[in-house]
Chain A
Amino acid sequence: MANQEAPRKGFADALIRLGEKHDNLVVLDADCAKSNMTNLYKNRFPERFFNIGISECDLVGTAAGMAVAGKVPFANAYANFLTGRAFDQMRISVCYSNNNVKIVGHNAGTSAAQEGATHLPLEDISLMRSLPRMTVIVPADAVEMEKAVEAAYYHEGPIYLRVGKLPVPIVTKKEEPFKIGKAIKYREGSDITIISTGIMLDESLKAADELEKQGVSAELLHIHTIKPIDKEAIIASAAKTKHVITVEEHSIIGGLGSAVAEVLSESQPAILRRIGTNDRFGVSGKMDELLDLFELRAHRIISTANELLGHRVTS
């Protein structure tokens, strides 16, 4: 079994490394520092850490003021409360004001697990993607997370970074270059395109390899930047395969699936199936159980591919 690590640990490690180099990096949290691991930054740089309390709107506004004062703030909170409650603060005080604030949504996707529906953010990407000027990054694992945090720091402008809580397999490589807005091709193929984001890269890799064994040549694009999305990579792949499946640990409404659908329908019509949560709330359960429940698994990608390609699907 592959090594596992919590994406939030990769986030915290990268933040501290950047903090050592740059004294303009400040970190804010809404009383979730232990859970979000920003307490590691707090322990290392106590004067550059601010617990704003359980008040996400105030958190985002305060971060905007810190950016006005010339700092690079990373504003952390649980993803659903942050993006739902403080949406308007991000819209006006951050994006419309063009303030250099990094918004970090924690407990991503299914990683809040047994906390249940209130704590499972399955709509955050959709919300953040709709904000003008907002860049949206959804890394696959702790290794890619570290690169994403670094890229976010050096990027001038608002960023939404989605960070998971629980350990997931490390599937990306340290030496792989990371560029905001640039998709990474993990498998070359000709029959069908699988486009994954976030931790779904793991299941997508398994699916692509299994499809290969079944004689289906699957191309796999990993999209860590949902906005701006890598149109060229999507168009080039869809032009070749004509069949596309998107896979995300998020609602199929407004997230990766919608973003890809927009690109395809405007530029390169192809048959598309979106795999994600289907207009529903979460429930309590272990992360693995939730991924099973939502069918965010390789077997679903495989059966969907076969169905798309007109193969007989055996259950």
Chain B
Amino acid sequence: MDFSKEKGEFYNNLTKTIRRHIVKMTNHAGSGHPGGSLSATELMSVLFFEHMNVDPDNPDWQDRDCFFLSKGHCTPVFYSVLAEKGFFPVEELMTFRDVDGRLHGHPCGEHIPGVDISSGSLGQGLSVANGVGLIAKLDGSNRRSYCMIGDGELQEGQVWEAAMTTAHYNLDNVCAIIDWNKIQLDDFVENVKGVKNLGDKFRAFGWHVVEIDGHDIHAVNEAYKEAKRTKGRPTAILAHTVKGKGVSFMEDTHDWHGMAPNDEQLEIALKELA
């Protein structure tokens, strides 16, 4: 079911705000990863504002839902969503990658409220998500554990070790979100080491699979609901996205995987995101 008109408007504004943060933060730092942040914006926004059971005033509350950004380089979108959700001041976003700040290039679990694990070395998030899922089952807690993985990241073997664990232990409280933007650092994923038939891969590993347009907020919302409804096995949301989504010159190219816009480029981007 679609969001109400008001909700739709809210997410339209929120995702634009977050995309503006992403380009501004990377411009401020002169480095960072806008491409994979812009592709994950709807997925992260709807997750944190609609589904995650968290309390920004009490970020370490024991029964909270957990989120693990396995594609750890996409801090611009992660930090922006956390700030907008109230985990830390929005103004702090403009300290991104500063030597005296805490918003490091890749997230540090120890220092940033709302960040449940440090990440940045690819492939590690799903194992951690499973750890929370296993303990939730042991403790009889309803908490859920989410993990966002990049499509290029699926080349890391640990992802598949972990995918076996999730399914083996029937962790229906674990949800993997694949930001399937088709592009990695060097090139298109299919040119580097393809991940074709991804749905079949996850199904073969024992997962329930939902395939959606990752920029359609209604579809994203329904996918998270379906993941919650699915019992007895974990759910993988395969979200087709566009790398660099929302900024014309960043879309669908590996050039903007890890490059920051200069001042003129920022101005154009902000106009497009107005």
Whether A associates with B in a native complex is yes
- Residue numbers of A with Cβ under 8 A of B are 26, 47-48, 50, 52-53, 55, 57-71, 73, 88-89, 91-93, 96-99
Contact call A62/B128, Cβ cutoff below 8 A:
yes
Nearest B-chain residue to A86, judged by Cβ: B158
By a CB distance below 8 angstroms, the chain A residues around B127 are 57-62, 64-65, 89, 93
Complex CA gap A88/B162 in Å reads 15
| Interface size bracket, B side | 35 or more
Complex CA gap A64/B130 in Å reads 10
What are the 6 closest A-B residue pairs judged by CB atoms, nearest first? A65-B131, A61-B127, A69-B135, A58-B161, A55-B161, A65-B128
B165 at the interface (CB under 8 A from A): yes
Contact call B129/A96, Cβ cutoff below 8 A:
no
| Partner pick for A65 among B62, B118, B123, B130, CB 8 A cutoff | B130
| Partner pick for B161 among A50, A57, A69, CB 8 A cutoff | A57
Give a binary string over B112-131; 1 marks a CB under 8 Å from any A CB, 0 the rest: 00001111110111111111
Interface hits, B137-192 → A, CB 8 Å: 138-139, 145, 157-158, 161-162, 164-165, 168
Chain B interface mostly helix, strand, loop or mixed? helix
Nearest B-chain residue to A66, judged by Cβ: B131
Chain A interface mostly helix, strand, loop or mixed? helix
Contact call B128/A68, Cβ cutoff below 8 A:
yes
- Residue numbers of B with Cβ under 8 A of A are 62, 66, 68, 108-110, 116-121, 123-136, 138-139, 145, 157-158, 161-162, 164-165, 168
Contact call A69/B136, Cβ cutoff below 8 A:
yes
Residue of B109, B135, B162 most packed against chain A (CB within 10 A):
B135
Nearest B-chain residue to A52, judged by Cβ: B165
Contact call B158/A65, Cβ cutoff below 8 A:
no
Contact call B110/A98, Cβ cutoff below 8 A:
yes
Residue of A64, A88, A91, A98 most packed against chain B (CB within 10 A):
A64
- Given A69-B66, A92-B119, 15 more pairs with CB closer than 8 A: A58-B161, A62-B127, A62-B134, A64-B117, A64-B128, A66-B132, A66-B134, A69-B132, A89-B127, A89-B158, A96-B118, A97-B110, A97-B117, A99-B109, A99-B117
By a CB distance below 8 angstroms, the chain A residues around B126 are 61
B48 to chain A, nearest CB (A): 17
A222 to chain B, nearest CB (A): 33
Contact call B135/A71, Cβ cutoff below 8 A:
yes
Contact call B130/A92, Cβ cutoff below 8 A:
no
Contact call B135/A93, Cβ cutoff below 8 A:
no
Complex CA gap A277/B120 in Å reads 35
Contact call A53/B165, Cβ cutoff below 8 A:
yes
Known interface pairs A62-B165, A64-B128, A65-B128; A91-B135 also in contact (CB < 8 Å) = no
Nearest B-chain residue to A63, judged by Cβ: B131
Known interface pairs A66-B135, A97-B110; A58-B121 also in contact (CB < 8 Å) = no
A-B contact pairs, 30 of them (CB 8 A): A53-B164, A55-B164, A57-B127, A57-B157, A57-B158, A58-B127, A58-B158, A61-B162, A62-B127, A62-B128, A62-B162, A64-B117, A64-B127, A65-B66, A65-B128, A65-B133, A66-B131, A66-B134, A68-B66, A68-B132, A69-B66, A69-B131, A69-B136, A70-B135, A71-B135, A88-B121, A91-B121, A92-B124, A93-B124, A96-B110
Complex CA gap A62/B117 in Å reads 12
A71 to chain B, nearest CB (A): 6
Complex CA gap A144/B125 in Å reads 36
Contact call B62/A93, Cβ cutoff below 8 A:
no
